[in-house]
Structure 1
Amino acid sequence: METVFLKKGEDRRLRIGHLWVFSNEIDTKRSPLGSFAPGQSVLVADCGGRPLGTGYVNPASLIAVRMVSRKADEVLDASLLHRRLSDALALRERMFRTPFYRLCHGEGDFLPGLVADRHGDHVVCQITTAGMDAHTDELLSVLDSLLHPSSILLDNNVASRDLEGLERFQRVASGDVPEEISVEENGMSYAVPLKNGQKTGWFYDQRVNRAALTPFVQAQQGCSVLDAFCYAGGFGALAAKNGAGKVTFMDASAHALSYAKRNAEQFGTETELLQGDALTLLADLRREGRTFDIVCLDPPAFIKRKKDAKQGLEAYQRVNEIGLDLVRPGGMLMTCSCSHHLEADALRGLVTRAAGKRRRHARLLFQGFQGPDHPIHPAMPETAYLKTFLFHLPE
């Protein structure tokens, strides 16, 4: 392997376990980035030549190297993929009784560039880096040997591949991928679109947070629930199962709303579907004087890059202010953010200030983050992306 040398002092993060090397941290005189091929395996060394581990390089990316091992003689290959995925699988099988979970969560499972969700007999993979992309065939072979799935879908139609110089596509890698599947979570079954679903089919990261809402629904049988940015109705359909009287689903996608309706109405619950821009629809509800016993806000990432922070923060503020106005006295507000650039304290502060402006009391009852099948790398705050708060707004 060729060696990537770091500048003096740029090895500190790697020594505590961080897996990214940025292009400006590399001594390009000793290791010119242009001399490496995208996805090439490299040894990473400090300025004194002491090995820090191995990774793969992409000279076209701001994150120039992603580490895969702290050993100098271990590279990304079929053997390493098998070992890491076997470990990830064993951990999930300790946590979940049924095979519905995120099997691999990139850096959290020490395989940068790979996300894999297991939906029963079906697997959806998302490969986002040139280094991982170069090992697609080995990855598919390993998944087949470990899981023997009925199908594997490569859902590589994501914007992050643009940053790596990779084409976007969706391809059936093996088997017969169904149009929709049934996902088991929190004691219920959700109908979910697979080929034309969002992300990798389902948002398992909210499993624990959805469950946290359940006791409050059960305690107020017949309550009204607003599930905004609902996708297939993760929060609202579970509320329906546990006794909600009416659930209002809101999403930009009519396709997603049709699944949310099916998932809730299997329990005989009355549903209302609102399709369009959620911010506009939320404002319309407020103008109409509508209120709900429980309001759930689970928007997409409004802050995808640091330079979007100001505009994104304004969007989060607006959503939460309107959402709070839609909670009737004595009701609940569950608010979420999947932007890792928005810290938990900032999201909590948005709601606190909004309540203060309205002279409403707010109690924080629950604070959550991504589920255990989306492990956080302790040396990488970037991997702790999901924040969820449940507030009670007394009369």
Structure 2
Amino acid sequence: MVVEIDERGAKRLLARHPWVYRSAVRSAPAGPGLYPVRHRGRFLALALFNPKSELAVRAYAWREGEPWAVWLQNLERALARRAEDRQRRPEGGRRLVHAEGDFLPGLVVDEYAGHLVVQIGAAALEARREALARALVEALEPRGLLFKNDARGRLQEGLPRYVELAHGEVPELLWIEEGPVWLPVRPRAGQKTGAFLDQRENRLLAGELAARTRPESALDVFGYQGGFALHVARHAARVTVVDASEEALRVAREAARKNRLGNLETLEANAFDFLKREARRGPAYDLVVLDPPSFARKRGDLERAYAAYKEVNLRAMRLVRPGGHLLTASCSHHLGEEAFLAMLKDAAGDARRTFRLVARRGQAADHPVLVNVPETGYLKFAVLEAVE
């Protein structure tokens, strides 16, 4: 069985972009699966295929072979790239499989201190989830494996949403070592797979910055379970975590106790309302972290999202004391790097403040970015210093 695509789709695959939309499919099997993709009889790639999805073709290899065997080879390579880190940080957290970034579209595998949390986002893989679980268990010998298949994107694939234990045990709350900090993870109830591993290196950077500057007052907005705040609190006199979820803040307080940090406080509030109210006070913090959710889930949201990112950054900039720092992020791939920096420029201008760009970062190294697939590089992170 073969998927035949038109010239438009062929150009994308020849440029090594893995996505081909349904409108470019000329003929294909009736159901989802892993198939060779051809144009006018010429082999182009191996891909996941789903006739019900708008994103019908997701290529994972540009070499011929038995489709599932090649998929497993890609999985083996992805795990091998993380083998050294697993040995070095056995109680840490890491991304073992980063979908397209590891030539394994539709699959995310995160590891938390030996526990695997797996997300499947493709119908072709859902049919092979038992074989996939066996392959992961045989290769990694985890303490447990949890399928956290509750993402909204599964609906576009015609898949149900569920959370199911497939192997061993995975606690409701577990702890991972992240540098000098114990970080909380909620595999079932938490966002994503239980924590935001893409910000790991940026959280460590925040702690290093706090160690150098010793802020009297720090603020973590959209703070969730306090990941950034825990690193900053080791070197700050006082840190406040602001989030709309009382449950997330409860976990943040528990994490503060586990890390023996008595200087971390929490505030349940809408971040937009809090920033608007707090900005009236003027500069009151030496370090502010701003890690909002994605405001642009599709390209049509971009104009509204740009305005929302600008608003929260403008108000956060007004809170930073001269010589202090703003650490700000965007996790929307629709808002590119240039647009992110343009937004910061516009926000600083409207705030009537001058900021120096100290550092530009992205997602952690275990979330690989392919230059052919800019969508894999979704996280933007900037460290700004308030000049005046």
Which residue of 1 is the match for residue 248 of structure 2? 256
User: 2-side partners of 1:304 and 1:143: how far apart?
Assistant: 30
1:143 and 2:136 matched: yes
What is the letter of the counterpart of residue 230 of structure 1?
Answer: G
Q: Any idea what SS the aligned residue of 2:7 has?
A: coil
What is the letter of the counterpart of residue 80 of structure 2?
Answer: A
2:229–2:264 CA contact under 8 A, matched in 1 = no
Q: Any idea what SS the aligned residue of 1:63 has?
A: coil
Which residue of 1 is the match for residue 65 of structure 2? 73
TM-score (norm 2): 0.94
In terms of mean alpha carbon deviation, does 51-60 or 381-390 score higher? 51-60
1:270 and 2:275 matched: no
Map 1:62-101; keep pairs closer than 5 Å: 62-75=54-67, 77=68, 79-95=69-85, 97-99=88-90, 100-101=93-94
Q: Percent identity?
A: 38
Which residue of 2 is the match for residue 11 of structure 1? 10
Q: Any idea what SS the aligned residue of 1:163 has?
A: helix
What is the letter of the counterpart of residue 15 of structure 2?
Answer: I
What is the letter of the counterpart of residue 350 of structure 1?
Answer: M
Q: Deviations over 1:16-65 (max 9, x none)?
A: 322111112222xxx1x5x521x22322112x321102212111111111
In terms of mean alpha carbon deviation, does 56-65 or 210-219 score higher? 210-219
Q: 1:17 to 1:94 in 2, by over 3 A?
A: farther
Residue of 93, 102, 106 corresponding to 1:109: 102
TM-score (norm 1): 0.93
Q: Which sections of structure 2, spanning at least 5 residues, go unmatched?
A: none
Offset, 1:181: 0.6
Residue of 327, 331, 335 corresponding to 1:342: 335
Which residue of 1 is the match for residue 199 of structure 2? 206
1:357 and 2:350 matched: yes
1:239 and 2:229 matched: no
Q: Which sections of structure 1, spanning at least 5 residues, go unmatched?
A: none
Offset, 1:81: 4.5
Q: Deviations over 1:321-366 (max 9, x none)?
A: 1111111121101110000000112111222222223332211001
CA RMSD between the two structures: 1.7
Q: Any idea what SS the aligned residue of 2:266 has?
A: strand
1:274–1:281 CA contact under 8 A, matched in 2 = no
Q: Any idea what SS the aligned residue of 1:173 has?
A: strand
Residue of 365, 371, 381 corresponding to 1:388: 381
1:112–1:132 CA contact under 8 A, matched in 2 = no
1:36 and 2:30 matched: yes
2:363–2:380 CA contact under 8 A, matched in 1 = yes
User: 1-side partners of 2:72 and 2:243: how far apart?
Assistant: 39
Q: Deviations over 1:239-275 (max 9, x none)?
A: 112x111111011211111222233343434222111
What is the letter of the counterpart of residue 174 of structure 2?
Answer: I
Aligned length, in residue pairs: 384
User: 1-side partners of 2:323 and 2:297: how far apart?
Assistant: 34
Q: 1:222 to 1:342 in 2, by over 3 A?
A: closer
What is the letter of the counterpart of residue 368 of structure 1?
Answer: R
Q: 1:56 to 1:221 in 2, by over 3 A?
A: closer
1:236–1:264 CA contact under 8 A, matched in 2 = no
